[in-house]
Structure 1
Amino acid sequence: MSHNNDQDTSPTPEYEVEIPSREALLEAIEARLKPTTFEEIIERFKLDDERQHIGLKRRLRAMERDGQLIYTKANAYGLPSRMNLIKGRIIGHRDGFGFCHPDDGGSDLFIPPSQMYSVLHGDRVLVQEQGSDSKGRREGRIVRVIEPRQGGIVGRFFIDHDLGIVVPDDSRLNQDILIPEDARNGARHGQIVVVDITRRPNRRTSPIGEVSEILGEHMAPGMEIEVAIREHDIPTEWSPATLKEIEKFGETVPQEAYADRVDLRDLPLVTIDGEDSRDFDDAVCAEPDGDGWRLWVAIADVSYYVRPNTSLDKDALERGNSVYFPNFVVPMLPEKLSNGLCSLNPDVDRLCMVAEMRISAKGKLRESKFYPAVMKSHARLTYNKVADIIDGDPKLRQDYEHVLNQVDHLHSLFKVLKAARQQRSAIEFETLETRFIFNAQRKIESIEPVRRNVAHTIIEECMIMANVATARLIEGHEEAGALFRVHEPPSAERLTNFRSFLAELGLTMKGSDDPSPADYAAVLAQVGERPDAELIQTMLLRSMQQAVYSPDNAGHFGLALEEYAHFTSPIRRYPDLILHRAIKALLKKQQGPNQALAGAWMYPTEQLDELGQHCSMTERRADDATRQVADWLKCEYMQDHVGEEFTGVIASVTNFGLFIRIDDLSIDGLVHVSNLDNDYYRYDNERHLLIGENSRRVYRLGDKVRVRVRSVNLDERKIDLTLLAAESPAGKDRMPGEENAGGADKAARKPRKKSSAKGKRGKSSSKSSSRNKGSSKK
């Protein structure tokens, strides 16, 4: 459409008269050297009808709300870009300041506390850059809120001198919400509630809200999950249309679905999952093939049941993935499918998509083919059982005699694949995971370390091979759009920080400014037996980029693979479902339509870009929510251990103190700088250490320590510790009060003040493996 003449107007049902399009208005305003008045716009487009004036005003206001235009003090419309204005989203901070993350992906702008009074975390705003603050950060001034944050706010309700107040659980929302008496809706003092904002904050008044939901008492079992679900906007309700749609599914595979499928029911496929898994989306089988191997990876054919653009599909897309909490799951698909008709349960017919691969004696993928099939799982095995079978447990080997050859074949193939993985220098982590053990009242009885065994890695290698084969298939057919699993190399800043951390421990990493996965793998090989090996692995992980979903293949740095896609978990990951549809579309193009390829779908490129961003977001959302629940539960557990002593390691050094990771529990607590021995401490950011000005005592990353639990604040997920003793990696004990020579060239004097009431929390970094079904399945 042309936008350069007066005829760029069109009748719009919304306004019932011809008015200029948004594009035409933007072009007209951009063509002028200064902001344009309403009268000048009318004259420019020759709008004589009064109804056109009304419609134009509405459109201009809508463009203001969307941040496309700014209405100036001179009563004229201008372009944000010409006024040095930036559109972005507010990220609050517990200490009162915030940041604006620009929509265009540029660097964040610092928003001082004085500017945060009139906005809330999550608002989309227009910000004007105001130069730099004292720390050299770009600073911004809030011009306008263009899109208020959506959804309710979770917090704890208090009554103080007859005044109702909700303190948000999310520390990034640092303004208390006032609740009028007639808006409490039965909430009692101390309860956890959800609040809707009815009047936004400004420089003079706090936000005002209404209680929309009462979640329950503060310490009620499961409350931490209820809070996380709402705080992270995780969908939990199925639409009425979806509930009606799933009524048509029975308990068994429909007769018509068998048509045109390869019959693999006699192939000894088995599932290998965690003890408490209920959704089995992958089964495996291997056998010798000449000088190499043949591997079948059969994946639940979710795409047959979940068709594109149905209500069920839309609900699954909104969720993006299943979310695994301790003893509770928010599934991507209704339970009738996820634990029933799609799940590869033993001894029942199930529909599947199969990747059949031939693998060389050196673990290289020779060729692969994909096809729809019907299968029957010959055994539901667990990781522990498989590991015990491999170790020679006589009873288990007898109980599972009918699949014994299969387990042995898989183990032999694994050795080949493992060697190939090491040959290409993929980065291998052996970090400690934990699981929560609950009693009958759903209170935490213990936190137990969980270590992976050989069965985890067997399945992991099989899944990686299937994902590589799938990615190569899509890479070779540009018309079959799907999402790759992309893991890019570390950024320059993260790389520099990691090298600095290693240097402090006397370690180095090769590769100059462009290290390879082999350089990272070499670091892990150096630290295998060190007592601080887990910390080093954690820091290595922090140095890496976050993996994302993208239609553009950029390879997988961590796995040292040129192409990688997620094919193996369509029950719990939407990108896998997209990939299954793309494979079916390719097969349909090659073979022609048939019943087995129902659900085939070709996604346009522009839609894949949006899907990649959305699925990456839902994955981060799930990670954040499960991490929050883990933090809560670990603090709840530590409440019963105040005063007790533990050993640990310094996991992080900051200018306000030391974060200590307690051994075996993966719980982080804070030794605040004010609780260290009487001295002034300088913080060396580059070398990750605190040094006493007078005592020259040094505390650095990796030091082994003994601590006592000082206090626990469950509301803030904060654990305070007292340092009893410290030992350097070299083995020299440093008891509080002893001198330890050391130096710090670049240092900052420790702050004199303690952290605020919404101060730094003790955050735990490990998720409970008991909730993360398939944690080893890549």
Structure 2
Amino acid sequence: MSDLENRVRVQLRRAGKKSLAADELSRRAGVGKSEKKEFSILLSKMTEQGELVRQQNRKVVLARCVGARPATIVKVKKTFGFARIDDAQQDVFVPGRQLMGTLPGDRVMVRVSRSEGELDEGEVLSVIERAENRLSGTVVRNEYGELEFAPDNSAFAPVYLEGQEAAASEGEKAVALLVQHGDSHRDCRAVVQSRFGAAELAKNCCGAILDAAGIEREFSAGVLHEAEQAAAQPAEQEMARRLDLRGVPIFTIDGADTKDIDDAVSVERTASGWELGVHIADVSYYVAPKSLLDETAFSRGTSVYYADSVIPMLPPALSNGACSLNPREDRLAFSALVSLDQEGEIQKFRFEKSVIRSRVKGVYSEINRIFQGERDEALLDKYREVSDELPLLRELAGILAARRKKRGALDLSSAEAKIFVDEEGRAADIKPRVQGESERLIEEMMLVANEAAATLALEKLLPFVYRVHEPPAPEKLAVLKELLDTVGIPSGAVAPGVLPKQLSALLSRAKEGPYAVAVNSAMLRAMQKARYDDKNLGHYGLALANYAHFTSPIRRYPDLAIHRILSAFCTGVRPAEISRRYASFAAAAAKQSSAAELSAMGAERACEDCYKAEYMHRHLGEVFEGMISSAAPHGIYVQLDNTVEGLVRTEALGEGMLYDGKMQYCTESGARRLRVGDRIRVKVAAATVSTGRIDFVLAEG
């Protein structure tokens, strides 16, 4: 610490909670003329690092003296927002008046206070750094005839568009860049950057959502060229160096329309149990480190899926071509060969660079039909080469599922939709995505390979990218406990340190009663978000000490990253040298992949909401039956059988209906009640495609 830095810190500590103007601090610290520049740099550095709060009046104070912590604004609504404190998974609720005009991505200093609600409450004290805010929204015209920009989700009041009369039209979906911030969201100004057409079409809205999220739908010419070159390179010599598994009955199981096939399986019964092979496309062979192709995959982090569309992480020449484990074609693979005992416990494993030839492209729906006993000769003939392996895999999957349940893995459910789009790109139908037996079978096999990969990294002290899921935060457990007490389910075990097995038992008990939906939803909200980390923190939801993502390198960068690390190990590179090469790479891949996953998931949800609203807009005034999925101060959410969810606002529930703060609305006498899990009939009142919002009202009768 320099002499100047020491003097400045001493004076800041002496001032305590009292903020000081820069000139006053300079005088107290005895800053000389020759030190003025260094003093200014020091204050900027301390502010950027979160040590100092620079207030609106330009005065400064030590962050710890006023209880301020560095954070990032993660979401902003019309009257409130959320901030994520650095190095914490728990978000903080920030009332609108305390946001200081901040927007998602802004780096801020937040003072946190305890709250009676589910989340702690915070106040933005200062802005460290503004994000480049590119927002998707709709161009509208105000009462004065001026064009304004209405951001999606009513994040704040419409923003004035500067000089954009010729650059946009009323009713267009667009992406705008904020060029002026202020202490209030009403002070913001924006310019339109990209236009996507009429806002009543979901496909146009998705274009804007993806663009605003920084998700590129096309690859550059350079990346496409690299991919084509990589895919075209001869692989015969490489195949000769590998473990040849082309004689083993290996096959894939995927959706009927899957083009990027990255995993295949094989199985054999042994005297002591099972020999399972999970064979994954060897993407790391084709994607060279630090190549343009690799840099693009690292930046994208993941493939993005919505409605009937996919934005791949890798160009089609690889994702649908050389790396896809197509039937009857020789393919380079990375095989996890795992020995399991009769109870499905892993006994030993090894990872081998291999060459495989899939016997058949299995389809989930077809194999489910076989498992259900269907005797269609054409169907049975397609799978004849693996007819002995299918029942073995089915038996092993049952054993693995029982093992997973025994160790207490959480079986939480959430509704997923399959959206059908017509030739014009409009939502034609929506159905719940159903997971059949073969889907669960493949999931069980992938879990085994993923656990083995993480275990190998730990045993050999390799730098790695783990898939981690941390235990629930204490404050979220408190909310869950309160709900369980309300519905009469003993909640004594629900406290910091609660084991997954204990929560699993509570979930199983709830499924036997009328509160299954409420408990499932509350437990989902109590869970932390799974993420990637270069440190092994375990996976709480799966009740596994070691876990990683090894099985999808075509569509997830973390899988590609650990393939690269394991490839070095399998070719004889010593662990110490692997650490030197890959330690910083693993940390960077984990951080970037977590951020990319969050961005992709947010965009996917927003896009699907637009398609759902587009579909429901065709059914305005129609009556549907659904289930109350959650309750909130502003109304009840109702999920239809097709997974579409809409809001019945408080004012539409009827006079005298009061929210109990947990899971229901009821009259004071209790004569009328609307509780989470109840089946009710609703009428579609509104569906706004541009924002994905759907409003219901209670149906008569």
Q: Is residue 597 of structure 2 the alignment partner of residue 619 of structure 1?
A: yes
Tell me how far apart the structure 2 counterparts of residues 612 and 714 of structure 1 sit (CA, whole Å): 35
1:41 and 1:607, CA in 2 relative to 1: closer, same or farther beyond 3 A? farther
Alignment deviations for residues 455-476 of structure 1 (CA, whole Å, 9 cap, x no partner):
1121111111111111211121
- 1:476 aligns with 459
In 1, Cα distance between equivalents of 2:116 and 2:230? 63
Question: What is the CA–CA distance in structure 1 between the aligned matches of 2:606 and 2:264, rounded to whole Å?
Answer: 32
Residues 409 and 708 of structure 1, relative CA distance in 2, 3 Å threshold? same
Q: TM-score under structure 1 normalisation? A: 0.80
Does 1:520 find its partner at 2:503?
Answer: yes
Name which of 469, 472, 490 aligns with 2:472.
Answer: 490
Summarize deviations over 1:663-698 as a string: whole Å, max 9, x none: x2122222222222332x332224x22221256422
Deviations 1:494-517 (A, max 9, x none): 334334434544544673534433
* Range with greater deviation from structure 2 (397-406 or 209-218): 397-406
Structure 1 equivalent of residue 313 of structure 2:
332
Who wins on radius of gyration, i.e. which is larger? 1
* 301-310 vs 268-277, which moves further: 301-310
CA RMSD of aligned residues (A): 3.6
Over 3 Å counting, the alpha-carbon distance change for 1:533 and 1:277 in structure 2 is farther
The partner residue of 1:453 within 436, 440, 446 is 436
Contact kept in structure 2, 1:184 and 1:210, CA below 8 Å: no
**Residue matched to 2:549:** 566
The CA deviation at 1:220 is: 3.2
Q: Is the 2:179–2:189 contact (alpha carbons within 8 Å) kept by the matching residues of 1?
A: yes
Percent of matched pairs sharing the same residue: 30
Instruction: State the distance in 1 between where 2:362 and 2:93 align.
Output: 53
1:282 counterpart letter in structure 2? D
Selected match of 1:154 from 112, 128, 136: 136
Alignment of 1:610-689 (within 5 A): 610-662=588-640, 664-679=641-656, 681-686=657-662, 688-689=663-664
**Corresponding letter in the other structure for 1:560:** A
Tell me what 1:401 maps to. 384
Q: Do the aligned residues in 2 keep the contact of 1:509 with 1:519 (CA within 8 Å)?
A: no
Q: Distance in 1 between matches of 2:562 and 2:281?
A: 13
2:684 aligns with 709
From 530, 542, 566, the equivalent of 2:525 is 542
Which stretch of structure 1 is more off in the superposition, 80-89 or 223-232? 80-89
Q: Deviations over 1:274-325 (max 9, x none)?
A: 1121111111011121231111111111111222222222221111111111
Does the CA-based 8 Å contact 1:197-1:210 persist in structure 2?
Answer: yes
Over 3 Å counting, the alpha-carbon distance change for 1:243 and 1:29 in structure 2 is farther
What's the counterpart of residue 692 of structure 1?
Answer: 667
- Determine if contact 2:340/2:347 at 8 Å carries over to the other structure: yes
Q: How does 1:170-209 map to 2 (within 5 A)?
A: 170-172=153-155, 174-181=156-163, 183-202=164-183, 206-209=187-190
Structure-to-structure mapping, 1:107-256, within 5 angstroms: 111-116=94-99, 118-127=101-110, 142-160=124-142, 161-172=144-155, 174-181=156-163, 183-202=164-183, 206-220=187-201, 222-238=203-219, 241-251=222-232, 253-256=234-237
Residue from 259, 264, 285 that aligns with 1:304: 285
Given residue 533 of structure 2, which amino acid in structure 1 is its aligned partner? S
- Give the Å deviation of 1:218: 1.0
Per-residue CA distance 1:512-533 (angstroms, 9 max, x = gap): 5344333333344445576765
Q: Which stretch has the larger CA shift, 380-389 or 399-408?
A: 399-408
Name the SS for the 1:222 alignment partner: helix
Residue 293 of structure 1, aligned match among 265, 274, 284: 274
SS in 1 for 2:560: helix
Q: Which moved more, 1:360-369 or 1:55-64?
A: 55-64
Indicate if the aligned counterparts of 2:172 and 2:196 stay in contact, CA closer than 8 A: yes
Counterpart in 2 of 1:30?
9
Cα distance in 1, alignment partners of residues 447 and 286 from structure 2? 25
Distance 1:519 1:136 in 2: 22
Give the TM-score, by structure 2 length. 0.88
Please state how far the C-alpha of 1:434 moved relative to its aligned partner: 2.5
Q: CA deviation at 1:141?
A: 5.8
CA contact (8 A) 2:538 2:544 kept: yes
**In 2, distance between residues paired with 1:325 and 1:273?**
17
Residue 56 to residue 236, structure 1, CA distance change in 2 (3 Å)? farther
- In structure 2, what is the equivalent of residue 551 of structure 1? 534
Q: How many Å separate the matches in 1 of 2:115 and 2:451? A: 48
The code of the aligned residue for 1:520 comes to: L
In structure 2, what is the Cα distance between the partners aligned to 1:111 and 1:433?
A: 30
Query: Does the Cα contact within 8 Å between 1:582 and 1:601 map onto a contact in 2?
Result: no
Q: Choose which of 389, 397, 411 in structure 2 pairs with 1:428.
A: 411
Which structure 1 residue ranges, 5 or more long, are not aligned? 6-24, 593-598, 726-734, 736-778
Change (3 A) 1:706 1:133: closer
> 2:542 is aligned with what amino acid?
L
Return closer, same or farther for 1:567/1:128 CA change in 2, 3 Å cut-off.
Answer: closer
In structure 2, what is the equivalent of residue 277 of structure 1? 258
Change (3 A) 1:203 1:707: closer
- State the Cα distance separating 1:454 from its structure 2 match: 1.4
Instruction: Say if 1:291 and 1:689 are closer, same or farther in 2 by CA, change over 3 A.
Output: same
Given that residues 154 and 170 in structure 1 are in contact (C-alpha distance below 8 angstroms), is that contact kept between their aligned partners in structure 2?
Answer: no
Contact 2:81 2:93 in 1 (8 A): yes
Q: Is the 8 A contact 1:96 1:116 kept in 2?
A: no
Distance 2:77 2:574 in 1: 59
Label 1:397 to 1:530 Cα distance change in 2 as closer, same or farther (>3 A): farther
Structure with the larger helix share: 2
Distance 1:588 1:61, change over 3 A: same
Partner SS state of residue 272, structure 1: strand
Q: Secondary structure at the match of 2:614?
A: helix
Residues 467, 547 of structure 2: 8 Å contact kept: yes
User: How do residues 576-591 of structure 1 correspond to structure 2 at under 5 angstroms?
Assistant: 576-589=559-572
**Alpha-carbon distance, 1:240 to partner:** 5.8
The one-letter code of the counterpart of 1:179 is L
The answer as to 2:348 corresponding to 1:348 is: no
CA contact (8 A) 1:88 1:102 kept: yes
SS at match of 2:628: strand
- Deviation of 1:57 after TM superposition, in Å, equals 5.2
Query: 2:628 corresponds to which letter in structure 1?
Result: I
Aligned mates of 2:366, 2:118 — CA distance in 1: 57
2:131, 2:285 → 1: CA distance? 37
Partners of 2:631 and 2:650 in 1: CA distance: 10
Cα deviation 1:233-257 (Å, max 9, x = unaligned): 3244545653443342234653443
Cα distance in 2 for partners of 1:426, 1:43 equals 58
Q: Which residue in the other structure is 2:243 paired with?
A: 262
Tell me the residue number matched to 1:722: 697
Q: Tell me the equivalent position of 1:21.
A: none
> What is the CA deviation profile of residues 171-222 of structure 1, one whole-angstrom value per residue up to 9, with x for unaligned ones?
33x03221233x3453111111121222223459632222211111112351
| In 2: Cα distance, 1:112 partner to 1:411 partner | 52
1:253/1:350 contact within 8 Å kept: no
